Chain A
Amino acid sequence: MGAARFWGVSFLVAAALLVLTRGLIGNEYFFFAGYVVLQYIVLSTAWNILGGYTGYTNFGVGAFFAVGAYSSVVLHKLTSLPVPVMILVGGLMSGILGFGMGYLTLRLKGVFFAIATLALAIVAQTFIVNWDYVGGSRGIYVIRPQQAPLYGSYIQYLYSLMLILAWVSVAIARTIERSRLGLGFNAIRDDELAAEAGGVPTLRLKLISTTLSGALMGMAGAPLPYYVTYLDPASSFNLSYAVNSVAMPLIGGMTSWVGPVIGAVLLGTIQQLATVTISSALNLLIVGLLLIAFVIIAPNGIVGLVQARRRARLR
């Protein structure tokens, strides 16, 4: 399937999903939980562009996510822009952060790069904690507008936006995967020196990867203040965003766009169910256990499992 066709088909799927869920489901909680699952589709897809395709592990997901969220806080205090515009601005801010991080750290490889991203998250959090205008360590209340644009409740509105964002990020990932750019990313992941010797401008491609990945994460974070209505650094920079965004592609499979989607839907849904039925503290335990299980049983994720089976059948 060509890229244009994929955009079209995935748009129809997303639109159908939107119409069906909003038309048929009356329970407000569905949209509350669905928003989180969709948000993780965006986050894990974004993570996978840098982590899966290009081979650089980013543990600083929380920083990008929170920069998107806090840019919305600033915009909320200064202006009365609609949320879609805030999403774009949030994406721009964290895209800039991604570019900066890329420029400063991409000479580092493997585990050293991962540590640097973790440090970035701490630096960004410290910055926000000490910035009184956005609430500092106290956090800040964000009052939602009374009326959602279009029809339905505000949560349904945010859910719809996140669904659109999920569609866009998945379609971007799929487009990259089958493109010259994606092949270049793969070459960097496999062997940077050989990629450079083959004419791949590795630094430029890595910057594209960090910028794009960061921008999508920020876009996922931008509606957060309206979703939670109270935003504080401890929860918005939470390490669980990074853990989940790494775990989901790992469980789903990192080589293809499907992997992060499967991982996010699976893990996100289980977490939401566990939160309601058992306890919210159980979330990370579930992630941990699943991660261990997958590393042992299916190191290439669910997609890898399916591919291996298909290859075995062909032989």
Chain B
Amino acid sequence: MPPLLEVDGLGKRFGGFVALEGIDLAVNTGERLGLIGPNGSGKSTLVNCLCGALHHDSGHITFDSRAIDGLPAYRRTRLGLARSFQLPRPFRSLNLVDNLRIPLLYTVNARPGTRLSESAIDERCLALLYDVGLADKAARLPRDLTQVEMRKLELARAVASAPRLLFADEAMAGLSPSEIEEILVVLLRLNEQGITIVLIEHIMRAVMNFSTRLVVLVAGQKIADGAPQEAIRNPEVERAYLGE
């Protein structure tokens, strides 16, 4: 079976600064992939290029055996590529239900054959909020949420688009250990439901627990790709994280 997402020689530069260079990556269906790297190594740029928020300069991206180079972000979301943002970006003037209604109306209902009725959308919104433990705040505005709840809303909104591949971009940054555990539980459950997950994360304990495979980026290049325990013992990775 061909990989769900295939990245071939991806490159991105900002002026003279090379943010990503020659990235090759394959993500298989059902996988839990951890993506780590020091600050500024290009993790978020990679996610932005893959999800269409930025356009890459060279290389090719294939999703579900289909070239998606140059497709705008919303088309990629409709194909089944969802993301959560590093800093939560809720729709501040909309209540939680309407926050989830956006991807349901614009992604799920835009796909052929999955059209939901008004009431089905309402039900789905509530069910999604229930899954992340936010059902009792359905009518609240995002400003009433705590940090961890905001992250959960961010995940719920990404999941609402019924993705096949989910990029969770630092969904746990700044959270306490018990809160990290809560998010991990949510992510594992999503993976069991069949969503392939790429976790971009700094918190090593979480990444090591979660991932079935680890990819390490340093200075815009992929320096390791493999089983988590092996990848972090890679001398290049040790050098990048711990210095010479």
Scoring A184, A190, A203 by chain B CB atoms within 10 A of each residue's CB, the highest score goes to A190
Complex CA–CA separation, A1 to B73 (angstroms): 35
Stretch of B7-15, B101-109, B193-201 that contacts chain A: B101-109
Number of interface residues of B (CB under 8 A): 29
The proximity string for A residues 273-292 relative to B, scoring 1 for CB distances below 8 Å and 0 otherwise, is: 00000000000000000000
Do A197 and B53 touch across chains, with their CB atoms under 8 A apart?
yes
Question: Which of these, B83, B91, B93, B110, contacts A255 with CB under 8 Å?
Answer: B93
Q: Which residues of A contact B52 (CB under 8 A)?
A: 196
Do A200 and B74 touch across chains, with their CB atoms under 8 A apart?
yes
Do A190 and B91 touch across chains, with their CB atoms under 8 A apart?
yes
Q: Which residue of A lies closest to B73 (CB)?
A: A196
Complex CA–CA separation, A195 to B77 (angstroms): 11
Q: Which residues of A contact B73 (CB under 8 A)?
A: 193, 196-197
Q: Which residues of A contact B85 (CB under 8 A)?
A: 193-194, 197
Question: Which of these, B51, B89, B103, B110, contacts A191 with CB under 8 Å?
Answer: B89
Number of interface residues of A (CB under 8 A): 20
Q: Does B239 contact A (CB under 8 A)?
A: no
Do B77 and A197 touch across chains, with their CB atoms under 8 A apart?
yes
Q: Which residues of B contact A189 (CB under 8 A)?
A: 93
Query: How many Å from the CB of B175 to the closest CB on chain A?
Result: 20
Do A199 and B94 touch across chains, with their CB atoms under 8 A apart?
no
Q: Which residues of A contact B160 (CB under 8 A)?
A: 198
The proximity string for A residues 195-222 relative to B, scoring 1 for CB distances below 8 Å and 0 otherwise, is: 1111111110000000000000000000
The proximity string for B residues 67-107 relative to A, scoring 1 for CB distances below 8 Å and 0 otherwise, is: 00000111001100011010001111110001001110111
Do A201 and B157 touch across chains, with their CB atoms under 8 A apart?
no
Query: How many Å from the CB of B23 to the closest CB on chain A?
Result: 21
Q: Which residue of B lies closest to A195 (CB)?
A: B102
Q: Does A183 contact B (CB under 8 A)?
A: yes
Do A184 and B51 touch across chains, with their CB atoms under 8 A apart?
no
Q: Which residues of B contact A197 (CB under 8 A)?
A: 51, 53, 73-74, 77, 82-83, 85, 158
Q: A186-B94, A190-B91, A190-B93 are in contact. Are A201 and B72 (CB under 8 A)?
A: yes
Q: Which residues of A contact B157 (CB under 8 A)?
A: 194, 198
Complex CA–CA separation, A255 to B102 (angstroms): 17
Complex CA–CA separation, A203 to B158 (angstroms): 20
Q: Which residues of B contact A180 (CB under 8 A)?
A: 105-106
Query: How many Å from the CB of A297 to the closest CB on chain B?
Result: 21
Do B91 and A199 touch across chains, with their CB atoms under 8 A apart?
no
Question: Which of these, B72, B91, B93, B101, contacts A194 with CB under 8 Å?
Answer: B91
Query: How many Å from the CB of B141 to the closest CB on chain A?
Result: 11
Q: Which residues of A contact B110 (CB under 8 A)?
A: 199
Scoring B83, B89, B106 by chain A CB atoms within 10 A of each residue's CB, the highest score goes to B106
Q: Does B161 contact A (CB under 8 A)?
A: yes
Q: Which residue of B lies closest to A199 (CB)?
A: B107
Q: Does A73 contact B (CB under 8 A)?
A: no
Question: Which of these, B53, B90, B91, contacts A186 with CB under 8 Å?
Answer: B91
Residues on B lying within 8 angstroms of A by beta carbon are 51-53, 72-74, 77-78, 82-83, 85, 89-94, 98, 101-103, 105-107, 110, 157-158, 160-161
Sample (12) of A-B pairs whose CB atoms are under 8 Å apart: A180-B106, A187-B102, A190-B94, A191-B91, A191-B92, A193-B85, A196-B73, A197-B85, A199-B77, A199-B103, A202-B74, A255-B93
